[in-house]
Structure 1
């Protein structure tokens, strides 16, 4: 099957896609991205994704623009790839664009942003039994913007891949568990409360966590935003990993030791409630 992608609104086979070597996303990581889940060509919580995309663009001081056309372009690409039935993922990347010279400062002239879209089937991942490893957070300080500056995430993930079987990495800063290298992190504490780290400059606003907060309200579960330590993760009733691909998944191994697996009823409520939320939050 020929995979078709979109560059600046033009659809073409992946192996024919080209960008300029002077594109600022390529040279400086001057770009934002997002990954959006679609079911039957309808996007999950797209209003939240759109907020995160535009918030990241604003944070990188991109020129003001109307990005409302993006959703229709993504739907078009899903149909072009025959993915209109079932679950799919769209990878979206917007760079500041290409300029005639390599220079750190923003071009004084207005340049056209480079918009890249790729649609793929959504993999079916197991909802329970993930294995985690902890590592110190070595990323830059503005992870609240979803940029393509992911080398810290990449090196951290590679370190655990080389060490053995592991699904995700828990990032630690000053003893506090923040998030995972490519997912969000939450725990169910010994009192049965669902706990996530509060928003911070050095953490990505998670769409899945926003969804889980809504599920907690719907299910009458206690939801708390507060920092929690690595030791709290190890003693938690459940350890949760959240992402557009995973929804809410359970981890039961951390640094080679068993964790969680003590609150199956709350876990079941969260997972079933999130599945219902997905169905009711498509656009």
Structure 2
């Protein structure tokens, strides 16, 4: 069965899905995006994702292409037409099509909306979390508005590729002061030796992860203490545990960083409890 995608008002075969060459998303990365996990046909954390999408559009002054209610319908229709139970729904909104010029067009534009869906092995993600992954630190060279989920991701791509070439799953981004900011596509956490979970505050120019927020709520329910404070690369390497979070990463333990074991080199009890809690949350 051919994949079906949504492009500016039409449901089309994915292989035939195109946008105009003058779309500002293509020309300038003048666009925002969201990615939503689909589990058993249900979108996980749909409303928080929409909240963040609307915030990103507002920060870049992109007029929403439609209201929330019809957009929810489009998402569900893409899922229905693809007959996918477990997948990854990708939403991208650009400012629209205009003659190439750096400044915003004077005349109002109709924003472009594309929605795609691909299969995602959610159970495989859980199994990966039971083993853990390796990561490598990279300099954070991204722009100064990382709170906006922009499609301008070249620094993230370069960091991820560098980590991959070293045999890592993810890049741990480090700022000029030596503090960990995020991963190339994830939020970062450590478990201190005193058992407290620590993650950087979203007020410190990092993306407010949707899975991050859900994990914080689940941690409170499990009576796991979480503090929102910056930590250094040295802190991470000396932590009892370290893990990443994202819509497609759950709470995946990082068991090795820059060739050095984190803790005893295996997934720790705190991350393990959070993975199980998140799995139950998705399956509820």
Q: Does 1:158 align with 2:158?
A: no
Q: Does 1:265 align with 2:269?
A: yes
In the TM superposition, what are the counterparts of 1:74-93 in structure 2 within 5 Å? 74-83=75-84, 85=85, 87-93=86-92
Unaligned runs of 5+ in 1: none
Q: With structure 1 as the length reference, what TM-score do the two structures score?
A: 0.93
Q: Judge conservation of contact 1:142–1:201 (CA < 8 Å) in 2.
A: no
With 118-127 and 262-271 compared, the bigger mean Cα shift is at: 262-271
Unaligned runs of 5+ in 2: none
Cα drift, residue 181 of structure 1: 0.3
With 102-111 and 166-175 compared, the bigger mean Cα shift is at: 102-111
Q: Judge conservation of contact 1:186–1:194 (CA < 8 Å) in 2.
A: yes
Q: Does 1:115 align with 2:113?
A: yes
For residues 205 and 149 of structure 2, the distance between their equivalents in structure 1, rounded to whole angstroms, comes to 11
Q: Does 1:105 align with 2:107?
A: no
Q: Judge conservation of contact 1:7–1:115 (CA < 8 Å) in 2.
A: yes
- The structure-2 alpha-carbon separation of the partners of 1:29 and 1:242, relative to structure 1 and needing over 3 Å to count, comes to same
CA RMSD of the aligned region, Å?
1.5
Q: With structure 2 as the length reference, what TM-score do the two structures score?
A: 0.93
Cα drift, residue 263 of structure 1: 7.5
How many positions carry a matched residue from both structures?
276
Q: Judge conservation of contact 1:9–1:73 (CA < 8 Å) in 2.
A: no
For residues 173 and 89 of structure 2, the distance between their equivalents in structure 1, rounded to whole angstroms, comes to 26
For residues 74 and 9 of structure 2, the distance between their equivalents in structure 1, rounded to whole angstroms, comes to 7
Q: Partner of 2:273: helix, strand, or coil?
A: helix
Q: Partner of 1:209: helix, strand, or coil?
A: helix
For residues 103 and 139 of structure 2, the distance between their equivalents in structure 1, rounded to whole angstroms, comes to 31
Task: Tell me the residue number matched to 2:93.
Answer: 94
Structure 1 segments of 4 or more deviating over 4 A? none
Q: Judge conservation of contact 2:190–2:240 (CA < 8 Å) in 1.
A: yes
Q: Partner of 1:77: helix, strand, or coil?
A: helix
